[in-house]
Amino acid sequence: MGYLPSPLVCLTLVNSVSLAHFGYDQGIFAGALISADFIATFPETKDPAVSGITSSCFSLGAFFGCLASFLLGDRLGRKKTIYAGLAVNVVGAVLQVAAYHLPQLIVGRLINGLGMGVISSTCPVFMAEASPSHIRGKLVVLGSLCNTVGFCVANWINYAIFDNNGPFQWRFPLAFQLVFSAVVVAILPVTVESPRWLLMQGRFRDAQVTLARLRETEHNLDNTKLNDELRSIQKALQEEQEARVSIGDTLLCRDSLRNLHRLVLSCGTQLMQQFSGVNALGYYLPTLLVESVGVSNTYARLLAGANASLYLGAAFICLILIDRVGRRKLMMYGSVGTGSCYLIAAITLKEADLHPEQKANLGKATVAMFFLYYFCYGTSFAKVPWVYNSEVNSLGWRVRGAAAATATNWMSGFVIVQFTKVGVDRLGWGFYLLFAGFCWSYLPVVFLFYPETSHRTLEDMDEIFKRCRSLLVFRDAELTQRSRPLSLIEAEQSRIREVSAVE
């Protein structure tokens, strides 16, 4: 990726640690649910429905956090929005750690989720708006990769302290999330604000200085490349403001930038991510391994930790592939790969029911499919949706689009986590067959409707949606090729000339 100037390094750290916190929160509660002291403190969680709501209320809180980001993100700016999310997150974490009654625990998880919803919908957008286009995908995926690091750390902490049967076994892991918040609070003051947001506020000089710091040309504000990038953003913003229509007209698809269409595409990636069933496994993998496959509690935690490490390795591979292969191909590959893993897992579990004497060997095959699923998912839907929804929306709708997409992610996660335990208990192997169908259905959806966003500037996306009025993209090579089309390069040069002529 080359040398990164320090403001971009600081912003990358803020994004990475914030999303590591996100991943940690997703993975840590799975260990609490099978902790002896946790069950003794909250015996109500023995009921699958209560266990489901205790886990999933975090996602419900995050959904409302995304709505808050949708309403306030463009008013407060990126940095202040993250500060607000951090403050709420800390309150929720403290309530959980100090909980001795189920209502307090649930309220703590709701508040914790509320803060995480704000942070998770803002950080990828902040990162995308500040990054150079040629490494934007890598930097956004790096944050998402750190989400996997957090998930991996959570699983190994759960395994490492399993032998401690007291409250430390679950209170310490829940308290550890405060470390992530402390790191972000330490770094955030030395980051810069988004130059695109500053331009939206009419603060041209501040935007120029900020962009210069991000591009390491702060000692030469007359740098041609710097000012060409600024002019291109400024012209795209001007055209967007001239084309702006009311919310009602936007919802009726009467705007030239097709913001609703772009919003649906970004929400769709997050819907696909969650209905691939990742949180069904993330929150309940130890439980599923114990109840569906038949392994011991200790071995289930060890397998969950090993699986998280494999998932982390897959995320590193995605970091390499995201700009080389493109967003479309990775999502289509993910659809086929994850769906096939679920099908084989369903078959092996069904055969284990029919042939109990073969349960041990078939159980190993099922575990292998869970591992392979995480590899396929980690190199596709785990990372691509976070990049895609930070790229596809227009500047005026980028935070709102990302907030709506992330809200879709959290609400879908709430539904999945809430009904996983009940679904496994009632459907058995058929529960995994259901997810196989979901995953395979994404292949035609991505092929038909999703334009490529790699190697495009954020302003290119406006040009794409102004020119192409059809919902179907598969027939147009410019919309599906990985390399940047010549027409978009020419459009950018035209924007720069127009602003230069006015000056």
Range 335-358 average pLDDT: 89
Calpha distance 439→340 (Å, rounded): 9
Better-predicted residue by pLDDT, 395 or 362:
362
Say what the pLDDT of residue 469 is. Answer: 78
Task: Assess whether pLDDT exceeds 80 at residue 203.
Answer: yes
Into how many domains does the chain fold?
1
Could you tell me the residue range of the domain that residue 40 belongs to?
6-197+253-449
Range 456-462 average pLDDT: 84
Calpha distance 95→101 (Å, rounded): 11
Task: Assess whether pLDDT exceeds 90 at residue 233.
Answer: no
Under a CB-based contact definition with an 8 Å cutoff, are residues 22 and 66 in contact?
Answer: no
**Paired tokens of 459:** 């302003």
Calpha distance 393→362 (Å, rounded): 45
Q: Specify if 499 maps to a domain.
A: no
Look at residues 308, 328, 349 and name the one whose alpha carbon lies nearest to residue 435. Answer: 349
Under a CB-based contact definition with an 8 Å cutoff, are residues 492 and 457 in contact?
Answer: yes
Q: Specify if 214 maps to a domain.
A: no
Place of tokens 């869970």: 370
pLDDT tens-digit series, residues 67-109: 888 888 788 889 999 999 999 999 999 999 999 999 999 999 9
pLDDT band at 18 (very low <50, low <70, confident <90, very high): very high
Burial string for 280-317 (b: 16+ CB within 10 Å, else e) reads bbbbbbbbbbbebbebeeeebbbbbbbbbebbbebbbe
Calpha distance 376→22 (Å, rounded): 21
DSSP 485: P
For residue 100, count CB atoms less than 10 angstroms from its CB and return exposed for 0-12, middle for 13-18, buried for 19 or more.
exposed
**Paired tokens of 214:** 């991000």
Q: Specify if 102 maps to a domain.
A: yes
Say what the pLDDT of residue 241 is. Answer: 72
Say what the pLDDT of residue 288 is. Answer: 65
CA end-to-end distance (rounded Å), the chain: 34
CATH assignment of the domain containing 359:
1.20.1250.20
Q: Is 190 helix (H, G, I), strand (E, B) or coil?
A: helix
Calpha distance 446→454 (Å, rounded): 15
Q: Which of 209-213, 420-424, 449-453 has the highest mean pLDDT?
A: 449-453
Task: Assess whether pLDDT exceeds 50 at residue 160.
Answer: yes
Say what the pLDDT of residue 347 is. Answer: 92
Say what the pLDDT of residue 312 is. Answer: 83
Look at residues 180, 19, 182, 25 and name the one whose alpha carbon lies nearest to residue 96. Answer: 25
DSSP 382: T
Angle between helix axes 460-467 and 224-242 (nearest 10 degrees) is 40
Distance of CA 46 to the CA centre of its chain: 30
Under a CB-based contact definition with an 8 Å cutoff, are residues 157 and 174 in contact?
Answer: no
Range 257-277 average pLDDT: 90
pLDDT band at 243 (very low <50, low <70, confident <90, very high): low
The percent of residues in the chain predicted with pLDDT above 90, rounded, is: 25
Look at residues 490, 500, 498, 481 and name the one whose alpha carbon lies nearest to residue 463. Answer: 490
pLDDT band at 502 (very low <50, low <70, confident <90, very high): low
Q: Specify if 439 maps to a domain.
A: yes
Distance (Å) of CA 472 to CA 282, 332, 458: 34, 16, 21
pLDDT band at 4 (very low <50, low <70, confident <90, very high): very low
Distance of CA 130 to the CA centre of its chain: 18
Range 193-208 average pLDDT: 88
Q: Got the DSSP string for 241-291? A: HHT---HHHHHTT-STT-HHHHHHHHHHHHHHHHTTTHHHHHHHHHHHIII
Say what the pLDDT of residue 287 is. Answer: 67
Say what the pLDDT of residue 5 is. Answer: 45
DSSP 134: H
Better-predicted residue by pLDDT, 118 or 409:
118
Mean pLDDT across the chain, nearest whole number?
84
Q: Specify if 51 maps to a domain.
A: yes
pLDDT tens-digit series, residues 352-374: 888 888 877 887 888 888 889 99
Say what the pLDDT of residue 105 is. Answer: 93
The percent of residues in the chain predicted with pLDDT above 70, rounded, is: 94
Place of tokens 């369903």: 346
Number of neighbouring beta carbons within 10 Å of residue 159: 20
CA angle in degrees (0–180, nearest 5) for 54-29-35: 95
Burial string for 394-432 (b: 16+ CB within 10 Å, else e) reads bbbbbbbbbbbbbbbbbbbbbbbbbbbbebbeeebbebb
DSSP 192: P
Task: Assess whether pLDDT exceeds 90 at residue 162.
Answer: no
Calpha distance 478→133 (Å, rounded): 18
Say what the pLDDT of residue 2 is. Answer: 46
Q: Specify if 492 maps to a domain.
A: no
Task: Assess whether pLDDT exceeds 50 at residue 1.
Answer: no
Better-predicted residue by pLDDT, 307 or 334:
334
DSSP 221: T
Look at residues 430, 294, 426 and name the one whose alpha carbon lies nearest to residue 359. Answer: 294
Calpha distance 189→186 (Å, rounded): 7
| Dihedral, CA of residue 73, residue 381, residue 56 and residue 156, to nearest 10 | -110
pLDDT band at 284 (very low <50, low <70, confident <90, very high): low
In single-letter form, the type of residue at position 185 comes to V
Calpha distance 318→384 (Å, rounded): 9
Q: Specify if 367 maps to a domain.
A: yes
Q: Specify if 87 maps to a domain.
A: yes
